[in-house]
Amino acid sequence: MTFNDLNFSPAILKALTKENYTKPTPIQEQAIPVVLTGRDLFGCAQTGTGKTAAFALPIIQLLSEQPTKPQAQRRIRSLILTPTRELALQIAENMHAYGQFTDLRCTAIVGGVSQKVQERALKQGADVIIATPGRLIDLINQKFVDLQYVQILVLDEADRMLDMGFIHDVKRIIAKMPRKKQTLFFSATMPPEISKLVKTLLVNPAKVEITPASSTVDRIEQSVYFVDKGNKQDLLNHLLQDKSIVSALVFTRTKHGADRVVRGLTKVNISAQAIHGNKSQNSRQNALMNFRSGATRVLVATDIAARGIDIDELSHVINFNLPNISETYVHRIGRTGRAGLSGIAISFCEVDEIPYLKDIEKMIRKSIPVVTEHPERVLIS
C-alpha cells in the first residue's frame, strides 16, 4: 500500500512527497481509513510507530474538505491534547509539514513560553490547536480559547497524562466541548483507569493495536551487565571511553538519579545533560538541541521527560536502571534502530532488578546476552 491508495487530496500527497513519505506504517494503514469515515478510534501504540501521521493526516483531510472561513471567523475545529510541551511542539511541526499546501492554520498552546505569542495566534484564527492541559486551561479561563466548535478531539499518550496527574484537567477540558464529536484516543499501555476512560469517552470505537515489540527488538543489538548499584557510574564512565558511542540516551528511574549521573560523567569530561520534570522548559529544549546537534554526547532522561522525543540516528540507548514495566523497556530501546537502522541497547542490572530483567525477557521472548568482560571492580559481588 502507498499513501496514494488512502484517498488523500493532491495537497496532502504533494506534502508527503516533499517530506519523503512513501509507504504508510502499519498503524497509519489501519487507522487512517477508519478516521476518514468519522468513526471514534482507540489506538494502542507506542512512540515510534508513526501514530502522529495516523491522526494528523486524516484531520487535515477532513477539515480541508469543509468550506474555508475568513481569518477572523476561524473556529477551533480540532484539539490535540498531549502530556508534554516537547511532544506538542513536535506534533505541531508535523501538522505544519503535512498541511503546508492547504490553508489550515495550526498553533501550539504550551507552557514554559510567553502566553502573548499564543494569544496573538489564537486571535488570528486557528483551525487546529495542539496543547498541553495546564496552559490550555489557563487560556480557556481567560476566554482566549473557545472549544464549543471542536469536531475532532485527539488524546495522545493518554497513559502518560494519567502518570503525570493530568486526567482531572483533561476531563475539565472535555466538558467544554460538544458531546457530538469524533474522538481519537492513543495510549501505549492499558492500565485499568485508561480502559475506564475509553468506555466513557468513545462511542463504538474501532480498535487498532500495534505492538512493534518483536520487530523493534529484533533489529537492536541488546546486552546486559550485572553490576552492583554503587558501581554503575564507574561502569558507565568506562563504557563511554569508547569513542564509537557517538550519542547515548541514558535512562534513569528518578530525576535525582539523572542529575547524579550527569555529575558523574562531567567529572570525567564526558559532555552530558539531563532532561526531567524538575528542569525548566527552556533547559529541556536546550539540552535536546545540544544533543541533536552533537554538542552534547550523552542525554540522561527519565521516562516521562523522554516520551515523545524523536532523535534520528541515535546510536546507543543505555538503561542505567532497568524499568519495572516491560513495555517501558521496549519504548526505551526503540529509540535506537529507528527507520530500519540497527541500534545498540545496553542495560545495567543490579541484584534488585533481576526480576525486572526476567519479565522483560519473557515479554520479548528472548534472553538478553550477558557481558562478562568488564572491569572486575564493577561486577556484582
Could you tell me if 204 and 217 lie in one domain?
Answer: no
- pLDDT of 48 reads 61
Could you tell me if 109 and 233 lie in one domain?
Answer: no
| Euclidean distance between CA atoms 351 and 369, whole angstroms | 17
pLDDT tens track for 114-128: 899 999 999 988 999
Amino acid making up residue 257: G
| E strands present in 271-372 | 272-275, 298-301, 316-319, 343-349
Of 209, 238, 259, the residue that ends a domain is: 209
Could you tell me if 181 and 273 lie in one domain?
Answer: no
Q: What range does the domain containing 165 cover?
A: 3-209
Could you tell me if 60 and 179 lie in one domain?
Answer: yes
Could you tell me if 185 and 259 lie in one domain?
Answer: no
Angle (deg, nearest 10), helices 167-174 and 133-141 = 40
Could you tell me if 112 and 198 lie in one domain?
Answer: yes
- pLDDT of 64 reads 93
Could you tell me if 323 and 200 lie in one domain?
Answer: no
Q: CA nearest 108: which of 117, 100, 51, 99?
A: 117
Of 183, 209, 235, the residue that ends a domain is: 209
C-alpha cell recorded at residue 144: 482566549
Which residues is 108 bridged to in the sheet?
Answer: 130
- pLDDT of 215 reads 55
User: Are the CB atoms for 7 and 36 separated by under 8 Å?
Assistant: yes
- pLDDT of 347 reads 96
Could you tell me if 251 and 370 lie in one domain?
Answer: yes
Give the burial class of 116: count Cβ atoms within 10 A of its Cβ; 0-12 exposed, 13-18 middle, 19 or more buried. exposed
Could you tell me if 167 and 249 lie in one domain?
Answer: no
- pLDDT of 213 reads 47
- Ranges of residues in the chain whose predicted pLDDT is under 50: 213-214, 376-377, 380-381
Of 209, 233, 265, the residue that ends a domain is: 209
Could you tell me if 193 and 260 lie in one domain?
Answer: no
Given strand 343-349, what is the order of strands in its sheet? Answer: 220-226, 343-349, 316-319, 248-251, 298-301, 272-275
Angle (deg, nearest 10), helices 26-36 and 51-64 = 30
Could you tell me if 69 and 183 lie in one domain?
Answer: yes
Could you tell me if 43 and 153 lie in one domain?
Answer: yes
Question: Kindly report the CA angle at 308 between 89 and 149, in degrees rounded to 5?
Answer: 50
Residue 107 sits in a domain of what CATH number?
3.40.50.300
Number of domains making up the chain: 2
Which of left, alpha, beta for 91 (phi over 0: left; psi -120 to 50: alpha)?
alpha
